[in-house]
Chains A and B, each alone.
Chain A
């Protein structure tokens, strides 16, 4: 297997005022599943097209292992891409579609047929090889598209929003399938998505792209527990930001000093705590708070709180929310291990 790395990758589309991508550096470790996460317009599809060779970068390099593939045509890169739409070729059968790449390589018909049959089983389309793409459901088409790429045993697999066109239950199934096939084959895989839950559930490593720049790279948990900037925290649903100064393991802010976990350096910053990490009831770092509003969100309820003129949001189980009435005073606590300090301004 091979690692994929891009360095200084930049692209500006003709006529566009702003560059789609500003000097991206990113390495997808060999055999890993990395997700590029970003809102629409963040340049993530541009990264895909650049890596696949469908467009040329203005600057930078793309490497498989230690060999640059920048000058290679798309068909010679050893990279297979699955687009957001299944894009099955309508004039071919499902088997014809899955065997397309092998046929382009000039493999013998018998060899193609057996590879295709194996692949059909792997994506649970057994017996549907003779169908036309239009006779398949959306989920089946997406699986056929995945099979069509995987059957080539590419060095790198690119998946562009693989779950976004599926409804939620099919999305779960597809996510599991992608995970399983990726683990089995060990193909270095790069996924692009705008959906953070999709990225978190799918990837070993997430690269968050905001405005064409890499905001943070790391395992999924770090984006919740150790976001690099306020923008990163906000993208992952962070809502509580309290300005203040960290010193001697404490954070001085409008709530008075709060105890911090070890390992946070001194200086001015923004204290942040996940809305689901706020505790109701006494504990370390406890404070009095007033409940402003309770909003039922289905699986969770959102509690709007005022603490010493600052506003906070908490997410709690609906059963707990029933005991909280707007206008009442409660005690909340900030568990030190759930606190994190962001650089101020960013």
Chain B
């Protein structure tokens, strides 16, 4: 009984921990005037929401652009990260430690250093201020996660399964599609969701490479916040949280419990 109550208390605490910071945003987004000492706003209004959701604010366009950039970054990082993770997870080769270090470097380097370093290069390549440039720049912080997660997934994958498929008449593509992909899919999904989130939350790199011409949601959020538009900031903030919330719900089953589908085709 007591353990049950403790567990319920823990769940409640966890929920509060996650919900409480969001609460002021939600209140702000529907507040009409809210001065300091007051506990609640003077008045309520949906003005901020109708502005945010109308075409003229550019917030929905920014939402779409941010989604597109995050999606493209995710797919590109999967295209690079799956083979790279496979090499790291399955094979031993000379200089593997060094390769791993290089892969991890962007994750520990300060974002501002990466941003300004890249900016110079991208300027010369004509990529500065373009969506393509921003996507490529986002790969820097995203790839380490993708590659390392896939390396962990492949280290539990038995490559003999692929050899077996080939001797049963499967072409290399059929082997990947019918044997490898089903085995790595749960891990790949998790890695892609996190890749999406990492790209989604980039501020500094987008600002530096996009030069203000690529207005993603974090940039917009920051400009509304610094302009003192707390109601619109609240609305945009809530929109901004949306994918993260979705990811949390989608991955909760995979990252917890029995490792859920992670077991498929992978050695324990």
Which A residues contact B (CB, under 8 angstroms)?
49, 52-54, 73-75, 79-81, 83, 85, 87, 89-91, 100-101, 104-105, 148-149, 152, 158
A residues in contact with B168, CB < 8 Å: 75, 80, 100-101, 104, 148-149, 152
B265 CB-CB contact with A under 8 Å: yes
Q: In the bound complex, do residue A81 and residue B167 qualify as a contact, i.e. CB atoms below 8 Å apart?
A: yes
Instruction: Tell me, in angstroms, the Cα distance from A105 to B169 when the chains sit together.
Output: 7
A residues in contact with B182, CB < 8 Å: 89, 91
- Interface size for B (C-beta < 8 A) is 21
Instruction: Tell me, in angstroms, the Cα distance from A81 to B162 when the chains sit together.
Output: 12
A residues in contact with B264, CB < 8 Å: 90-91
Q: In the bound complex, do residue A90 and residue B166 qualify as a contact, i.e. CB atoms below 8 Å apart?
A: no
Contact of B265 among A49, A79, A90, A101 (CB under 8 A): A90
Instruction: Tell me, in angstroms, the Cα distance from A337 to B12 when the chains sit together.
Output: 88
Q: In the bound complex, do residue B166 and residue A74 qualify as a contact, i.e. CB atoms below 8 Å apart?
A: yes
Interface SS of chain B = helix
Instruction: Tell me, in angstroms, the Cα distance from A52 to B170 when the chains sit together.
Output: 13
B183 CB-CB contact with A under 8 Å: yes
Q: In the bound complex, do residue B160 and residue A83 qualify as a contact, i.e. CB atoms below 8 Å apart?
A: yes
B residues in contact with A81, CB < 8 Å: 163-164, 167
Q: In the bound complex, do residue B183 and residue A91 qualify as a contact, i.e. CB atoms below 8 Å apart?
A: yes
B219 CB-CB contact with A under 8 Å: no
Chain A residue, CB-CB nearest to B171: A75
Instruction: Tell me, in angstroms, the Cα distance from A61 to B4 when the chains sit together.
Output: 70
Q: In the bound complex, do residue A87 and residue B166 qualify as a contact, i.e. CB atoms below 8 Å apart?
A: no
**30 sampled A-B residue pairs with Cβ under 8 A:** A52-B163, A52-B166, A53-B167, A54-B167, A73-B171, A73-B172, A74-B166, A75-B167, A75-B170, A79-B167, A80-B168, A81-B167, A83-B163, A87-B158, A87-B161, A87-B164, A89-B178, A90-B263, A91-B183, A91-B264, A91-B265, A100-B178, A101-B169, A104-B165, A104-B170, A104-B171, A149-B167, A152-B168, A152-B169, A158-B167
B179 CB-CB contact with A under 8 Å: yes
B residues in contact with A49, CB < 8 Å: 163
Contact of B161 among A52, A89, A104 (CB under 8 A): A89
Closest 6 CB pairs of A and B: A101-B168, A81-B167, A74-B166, A91-B182, A87-B164, A104-B170
B residues in contact with A85, CB < 8 Å: 158, 160
Instruction: Tell me, in angstroms, the Cα distance from A80 to B263 when the chains sit together.
Output: 27
Q: Choose among B168, B174, B179 the residue with the greatest number of A CB atoms under 10 Å from its CB.
A: B168
Scan B129-158; emit 1 where CB is below 8 A from any A CB, else 0.
000000000000000000000000000001
Q: In the bound complex, do residue B161 and residue A80 qualify as a contact, i.e. CB atoms below 8 Å apart?
A: no
Q: In the bound complex, do residue A90 and residue B169 qualify as a contact, i.e. CB atoms below 8 Å apart?
A: no
Chain A residue, CB-CB nearest to B182: A91
- With A83-B164, A91-B182 known, 18 other A-B pairs at CB within 8 A are A52-B163, A53-B166, A54-B167, A73-B171, A73-B172, A75-B166, A75-B169, A83-B163, A85-B160, A87-B161, A90-B183, A90-B264, A90-B265, A100-B168, A149-B167, A149-B168, A152-B168, A158-B167
Q: In the bound complex, do residue B169 and residue A54 qualify as a contact, i.e. CB atoms below 8 Å apart?
A: no
A residues in contact with B164, CB < 8 Å: 81, 83, 87
Scan B215-246; emit 1 where CB is below 8 A from any A CB, else 0.
00000000000000000000000000000000
B residues in contact with A83, CB < 8 Å: 160, 163-164
Q: Choose among A53, A80, A91 the residue with the greatest number of B CB atoms under 10 Å from its CB.
A: A91
Instruction: Tell me, in angstroms, the Cα distance from A158 to B263 when the chains sit together.
Output: 29
Instruction: Tell me, in angstroms, the Cα distance from A250 to B13 when the chains sit together.
Output: 96
Which B residues contact A (CB, under 8 angstroms)?
158, 160-161, 163-172, 174, 178-179, 182-183, 263-265
Instruction: Tell me, in angstroms, the Cα distance from A91 to B266 when the chains sit together.
Output: 10
Q: In the bound complex, do residue B169 and residue A104 qualify as a contact, i.e. CB atoms below 8 Å apart?
A: yes
B residues in contact with A75, CB < 8 Å: 166-171
Q: In the bound complex, do residue A52 and residue B169 qualify as a contact, i.e. CB atoms below 8 Å apart?
A: no
Chain A residue, CB-CB nearest to B94: A15
Q: Shortest Cβ distance from B179 into chain A, in angstroms?
A: 6
Chain B residue, CB-CB nearest to A87: B164
Chain B residue, CB-CB nearest to A101: B168
Q: Shortest Cβ distance from B153 into chain A, in angstroms?
A: 14
A residues in contact with B163, CB < 8 Å: 49, 52, 54, 74, 81, 83
B residues in contact with A149, CB < 8 Å: 167-168
B residues in contact with A80, CB < 8 Å: 167-169
B residues in contact with A101, CB < 8 Å: 168-170
Instruction: Tell me, in angstroms, the Cα distance from A49 to B174 when the chains sit together.
Output: 20
Q: Shortest Cβ distance from B7 into chain A, in angstroms?
A: 31
A residues in contact with B263, CB < 8 Å: 90
Q: In the bound complex, do residue A89 and residue B171 qualify as a contact, i.e. CB atoms below 8 Å apart?
A: no
With A87-B160, A89-B161, A90-B265 as given contacts, are A104 and B167 in contact (CB-CB < 8 Å)? no
A residues in contact with B161, CB < 8 Å: 87, 89
A residues in contact with B158, CB < 8 Å: 85, 87
Q: In the bound complex, do residue B265 and residue A89 qualify as a contact, i.e. CB atoms below 8 Å apart?
A: yes
B residues in contact with A79, CB < 8 Å: 167
Q: Shortest Cβ distance from A146 into chain B, in angstroms?
A: 12
Instruction: Tell me, in angstroms, the Cα distance from A152 to B166 when the chains sit together.
Output: 13
A residues in contact with B170, CB < 8 Å: 75, 100-101, 104
Q: Shortest Cβ distance from A151 into chain B, in angstroms?
A: 9
Chain B residue, CB-CB nearest to A86: B164
Q: In the bound complex, do residue B165 and residue A100 qualify as a contact, i.e. CB atoms below 8 Å apart?
A: yes
Instruction: Tell me, in angstroms, the Cα distance from A158 to B167 when the chains sit together.
Output: 10
Q: Choose among A79, A80, A87, A158 the residue with the greatest number of B CB atoms under 10 Å from its CB.
A: A87
Instruction: Tell me, in angstroms, the Cα distance from A53 to B158 when the chains sit together.
Output: 18
Instruction: Tell me, in angstroms, the Cα distance from A90 to B264 when the chains sit together.
Output: 6
Q: In the bound complex, do residue A54 and residue B166 qualify as a contact, i.e. CB atoms below 8 Å apart?
A: yes
Instruction: Tell me, in angstroms, the Cα distance from A105 to B171 when the chains sit together.
Output: 10
